[in-house]
Amino acid sequence: MKAIIQTKYGPPEKVLELREVVEPTPRSGEVLVRVHAAALNAGDAFILRGSPWAARLAVGFPRPRNYIPGWDMAATVESVGASVTRFRPGDQVFASSHGALAQYACAPEDQVAPKPANLTFDQAAAVPTAAVVALQELRAGGKLQPGQRILINGASGGVGTFAVQIAKAFGAQVTGVCSTRHIDTIRSIGADHAIDYTQEDFTRGEPGYDLILDNVGSHSFAELRRALAPGGIIQPNTGHAGMGYVIKAFLLAPFVRQLGRIFVVSPNHDDLVLITELIEAGRVTPVIDKSYSLSEVREAFQYLSEGHASGKIVVRVG
């Protein structure tokens, strides 16, 4: 099968190769899928660069061990391993599991769910990680409640575009912060208010947000606290910021009452099913910025690293 292999750490044009590799075999509890489309996430860029260094512990040191990048995929089930009960060959699914940038991949059963019926494979590939991150950061971390005033910093990115829609679906009043060129996008997906950060600093406005989901790390926690209502919460999305931001969030969390729960988001079947229900009800839809072929993966990663995508970047596999 064809797959993208990361041979070392560095820029995409120097470390990514399209190769023929052996098709994987599902182990007990795993599903083998034929991948139709995959999507890129911020974490893929961290692993590509090998920065922070903790990323290298997961995929290989001093260089990756035949690592196939990508975590999000939309696919058709080819076969299932022993003990798998939810899926059978021919099922159309989407999943969050490693090795998505290949024609075939294996995924744990609990990280797979039926593909939303109203989405194409390209659209479905854009969903799993970003949507589950948004869901868990808002619901488990930020304790989102109907009627709350929510601000999403970095509302036009992969997680941000899902967060705007999920918060609205849960009954919140949503303000999105983004650059000038993405204002219309976040309004089109339901944001009640949009702030252009090049024109306005939301931390210097009137306080009153019950929850701030920070996908960017562009303000200090002290600055973010100025924008909160009494009892409000800052929920850092540590998967989208630099290592310094992550360390600071972990160190401050036990001592800063207004800092939300710091945790590692874990994609799972139940949350994927909930996202599917919201999508099929027309309350959430993926936003796709650009699509690339498997042979154009280097260009896709280059665009990802520039940090200006509106929504998700999709790679068509086959």
**What does the pLDDT read at residue 51?**
77
Q: Look at residue 203 in the predicted model and tell me its pLDDT.
A: 95
The pLDDT, as a whole number, for residue 205 is: 84
Task: List Cβ neighbours of 264 (8 Å cut-off, separation of 6 or more).
Answer: none
For residue 108, what are the CA distances in angstroms to 77, 97, 154, 173, 174?
A: 12, 7, 31, 36, 34
Tokens of 46: 């961290």
Q: What pLDDT is attached to residue 174?
A: 98
**255: amino acid identity, one letter:** F
β-bridge partners, 38 = 73, 315
pLDDT value of position 241: 53
Matching residue, tokens 């930020």: 142
pLDDT of residue 269: 94
Residues 8-60 have pLDDT tens digits of: 999 999 999 999 999 999 999 999 999 999 999 988 988 898 877 766 777 88
Contact in structure between 105 and 34 (CB atoms under 8 Å): no
Q: Which domains does the chain have, with CATH numbers?
A: 2-127+287-316 (3.90.180.10), 130-252 (3.40.50.720)
| Confidence at residue 66, expressed as pLDDT on a 0 to 100 scale | 72
Whether the model clears a pTM of 0.75, i.e. scores above it, the answer is yes
| Structural tokens at position 91 | 């099922």
- Rg of the chain over Cα atoms, rounded to whole angstroms, equals 19
Query: How far apart (Å, rounded) are the C-alpha atoms in residues 93 and 105?
Result: 12
Q: Give the pLDDT score at 198.
A: 95
Using the 8-state DSSP alphabet, how is residue 141 labeled?
A: I
Q: Residue 140 gets which letter from DSSP?
A: I
Helix (H) or strand (E) holding 128: helix 128-136
Segments in the chain below pLDDT 70: 54-55, 238-264
Mean pLDDT, the chain, whole residue set: 91
Alpha helix stretches (DSSP H) within 170-262: 183-188, 221-226, 243-252
